[in-house]
């Protein structure tokens, strides 16, 4: 060697630890050096060094209303998959009634309604979500509704969103596992407690649910879903190559995986979080 600058190509194997699989990413780096020093790097150090080259997380928005049973299924599946896929899951509590007013609604006839009850049982069994149909689903969905619950979730989203996932889960468990109310303040406080929200914080948030800012935010989220073409709940919007892809329902997961360039592993019951 005559002391000149030597260019070297190094191919660095980086394990994608966050993806939970053994797939490796390749990164080609040109290094100019006059001296070659060999270091043994740990996987974590390499990951930290090349953080800028890590693939950008894809944004996936889940618009949901806790009064919608298929939304619980989609919610639990997405919560499991945010650990497996390179996605940034954004929970967007909205108001299903507002959607139905916006685009219309065909109420299912008796044979379809009967089928949906059986379908929910089979799907939630397969996915290990502890679903139980309430004694009067029409009253739960059409009469009692979810306005206060939607506003409470919105207030939590605005102020302390670290609790949003668990509060969502606790509200679903109330209505679709224990057949309990989700409209009264005491009901919402109970769900908040189970979600780990400190009591005084929960009380404060509850006092804001009739504030204009909270109402407006819930309305905006609902409008955002409508703008994506939503007509029901759940509505999932995956941002793929800069384009929003809207999926309705809880049964387009495998297709969504295909479009996100991710692998579909099925129900993943071992990652289930909803406890009875």
Partner 1 sequence: MAALRSRKVVELFYDVISPYSWVAFEVLCRYQTRWNIDLQLRPFFIGGVFKETGNKPPALLAAKYTYAQHDLRRLADFYKIPVKMPPMERLMRRENVNSNRLLTAVTLDCPEHLENLSRELWMRVMARDQDITEPASLETAATAAGIPSDTTPQLLSRIRDDDVKAALKDTTNQALAYGAFGAPTIVAHIEGTPVMIWGSDRFPLLAHLLGERWEGPLREMAKY
Q: Does 244 bind partner 1 (CB under 8 A)?
A: no
Q: Does 80 bind partner 1 (CB under 8 A)?
A: no
* Contact criterion met (CB below 8 Å) for 120 and 161: no
Q: Out of 230, 238, 260, 274, which residue is the one contacting partner 1 (CB under 8 A)?
A: 230
CA-to-CA distance for 170 and 187, rounded, in angstroms?
10
Q: Is 196 left (phi over 0), alpha (psi -120 to 50) or beta?
A: left
CA-to-CA distance for 229 and 225, rounded, in angstroms?
7
Q: Does 104 bind partner 1 (CB under 8 A)?
A: yes
Q: Does 269 bind partner 1 (CB under 8 A)?
A: no
Burial class of residue 224, CB neighbours in 10 A (0-12, 13-18, 19+): middle
Q: Does 248 bind partner 1 (CB under 8 A)?
A: yes
Task: Give the DSSP letter of residue 14.
Answer: E
Give the number of residues in contact with partner 1, rule: CB under 8 A.
Answer: 31
* Contact criterion met (CB below 8 Å) for 191 and 174: yes
Q: Out of 249, 265, 268, 272, which residue is the one contacting partner 1 (CB under 8 A)?
A: 249
The strand pair at 58-64 and 235-240 is best described as antiparallel
Q: Does 227 bind partner 1 (CB under 8 A)?
A: no
Residue closer to partner 1 (CB basis): 20 or 249: 249
Q: Does 246 bind partner 1 (CB under 8 A)?
A: yes
CA-to-CA distance for 34 and 24, rounded, in angstroms?
29
Q: Does 251 bind partner 1 (CB under 8 A)?
A: yes
Q: Does 229 bind partner 1 (CB under 8 A)?
A: yes
CA-to-CA distance for 248 and 34, rounded, in angstroms?
58
Residue closer to partner 1 (CB basis): 50 or 264: 264
Q: Does 103 bind partner 1 (CB under 8 A)?
A: yes
Contact residues toward partner 1 (CB under 8 A) are 103-106, 108-112, 114-115, 119, 122-123, 126, 229-231, 245-249, 251-252, 254-255, 258-259, 264, 266
């Amino acid at each position: 060697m005559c002391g000149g600058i030597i260019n070297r190509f190094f191919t660095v194997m980086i394990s994608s630890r966050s993806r939970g699989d053994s797939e490796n990413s390749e990164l080609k780096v040109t290094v100019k050096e006059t001296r070659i020093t060999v270091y043994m790097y740990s996987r974590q150090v390499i990951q930290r060094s090349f953080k800028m080259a890590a693939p950008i997380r894809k944004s996936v928005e889940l618009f949901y209303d806790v009064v919608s049973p298929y939304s619980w299924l989609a919610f639990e599946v997405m919560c499991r998959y945010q650990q497996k896929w390179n996605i940034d899951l954004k929970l967007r509590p909205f108001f299903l009634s507002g959607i139905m007013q916006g685009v219309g609604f065909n109420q299912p006839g008796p044979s379809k309604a009967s089928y949906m009850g059986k379908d929910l049982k089979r799907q939630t069994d397969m996915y290990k979500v502890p679903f139980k149909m309430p004694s009067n689903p029409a009253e739960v969905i059409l009469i009692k509704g979810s306005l206060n619950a939607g506003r409470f979730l919105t207030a939590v989203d605005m102020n302390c969103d670290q609790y949003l996932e668990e509060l969502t889960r606790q509200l679903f468990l109330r209505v679709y596992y224990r057949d309990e109310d989700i409209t009264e303040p005491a009901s919402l406080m109970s769900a908040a407690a189970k979600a780990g929200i400190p009591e005084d914080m929960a009380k404060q948030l509850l006092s804001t649910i009739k504030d204009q800012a909270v109402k407006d935010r819930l309305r905006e989220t609902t409008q955002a879903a409508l703008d994506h073409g939503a007509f029901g709940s759940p509505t999932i919007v995956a941002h793929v190559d800069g384009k929003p892809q809207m999926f309705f329902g809880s049964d387009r997961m495998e297709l969504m995986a295909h479009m996100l360039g991710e692998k579909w592993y099925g129900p993943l019951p071992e990652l289930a979080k909803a406890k009875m």
